Amino acid sequence: MMKHVLIFSVLLAASISAAEPMPLWPGKAPGATGETPKDIPTLTPYLPEKKGAARAAMVICPGGGYGGLAEHEGSHYAKFLNEQGIAAFVLKYRLGSAGYRHPVMLNDAARAVRTVRARAAEWEIDPTKIGIMGSSAGGHLASTLLTHFDAGNADDADPIERQSSRPDLGVLCYAVITMGEFTHQGSKKNLLGENPSGELVALLSNELQVKANTPPCFIWHTFEDTGVPLENSLLFASALRKQKIPFDFHVYQKGAHGMGLGSRVQDPAKLHPWTKDLVFWLKAQSWTE
């Protein structure tokens, strides 16, 4: 663990190549109700300094109950992944607090993965190694794309829309998964509104949507989490198991909901063991050296 901490300490001192946020669509985004920042989904690239061979990439969906976006579950993750040689892209998706509902958030996440895949050569990315990562409600969005992706539209005039939105793997951190008994009520309300139909609740209960082509996943949660019940991750892992989808699943006894890398501040001395376990798993997927 000490070696892991020292590596991340070097990262914090280094200059990370973070570009300016870029709108996901030219002009007004589909379904946008205005033209203010809350109506404009963006993607912020964080690129490792090391260049050369094509590298893996991760689209990151911060949590916040579909009502906000937590910085420590966005840029902090991106910088950590950069130190592992992985390009990272933090997604600012539209929110229920701004009046948006499903499928707007899913469309934003799908567009983000398509964008990274379409521009893979420019960013020196392997287009077959583009994952999605999310925490809490951002984990719900990630798990939604992991189970609701499509192959793209080969006839679309927009080259980005021709790309598949399927992530090649997923990383789910204390994720909201279900809209059923064990859901996070605030996330459900912001995503689906006050009185969603039973059909919509089932559609966005992602443990019910796992299929044979759902990508491999790294899942972690804590026993002590009182914000999003552990049952969410248990349900998703069980669904993956039934479909014979490979996964790593970690339950840690200690840790409050929303801890990010280990704390809400970017402190390399407080990295939680899940970060070490994730790196081990990513190496097993040949995503890092």
pTM: 0.93
Distance of CA 8 to the CA centre of its chain: 21
Dihedrals φ, ψ of 134, to 5°?
-155, 155
Residues 227, 229: Cα–Cα separation, whole Å: 6
Q: Which segment of 28-37, 46-55, 228-237 scores lowest on mean pLDDT?
A: 46-55
Residues 263, 256: Cα–Cα separation, whole Å: 9
Tokens linked to 249:
């699943």
Residues 263, 260: Cα–Cα separation, whole Å: 6
What fold does the segment set 54-284 form as a domain? Answer: Rossmann fold (3.40.50)
Cis peptide before 21 (omega within 30 of 0): no
Under 8 Å between Cβ of 77 and 261: yes
Higher pLDDT residue, 123 or 270? 123
Report the SS3 class of residue 37: helix
Dihedrals φ, ψ of 28, to 5°?
-75, 130
Average pLDDT score over the chain? 92
Question: What is the 8-class DSSP label of residue 234?
Answer: H
Q: Beta partners for 45?
A: 89
Residues 61, 214: Cα–Cα separation, whole Å: 18
- The percent of residues in the chain predicted with pLDDT above 90, rounded, is 87
Query: What is the structure's pLDDT at 18?
Result: 63
Tokens linked to 259:
């801890």
Query: What is the structure's pLDDT at 131?
Result: 98
Tallying the residues shown for the chain, one arrives at 289
Residues 124, 142: Cα–Cα separation, whole Å: 23
Residue recorded with tokens 């009182």 = 226
Domain range summary for the chain, segments of one domain joined by +: 54-284
Cis peptide before 246 (omega within 30 of 0): no
- The band of 147, judged by pLDDT with boundaries at 50, 70 and 90, is very high
What tens digit of pLDDT does each residue of 268-284 get? 778 999 999 999 999 99
Averaged pLDDT, 250-264: 91
Query: What is the structure's pLDDT at 99?
Result: 98
What residue type is 183 in one-letter code?
A: T
What tens digit of pLDDT does each residue of 19-33 get? 799 999 999 999 999
Under 8 Å between Cβ of 152 and 118: no
Tokens linked to 29:
């985004």
Name every residue whose Cβ is closer than 8 Å to that of residue 34 and which is 6 or more positions away in sequence.
none
Averaged pLDDT, 146-160: 97
Name every residue whose Cβ is closer than 8 Å to that of residue 29 and which is 6 or more positions away in sequence.
23, 39, 40, 41, 94, 108
Residues 141, 155: Cα–Cα separation, whole Å: 27
pLDDT surpasses 90 at 85: yes
Residues 23, 160: Cα–Cα separation, whole Å: 13
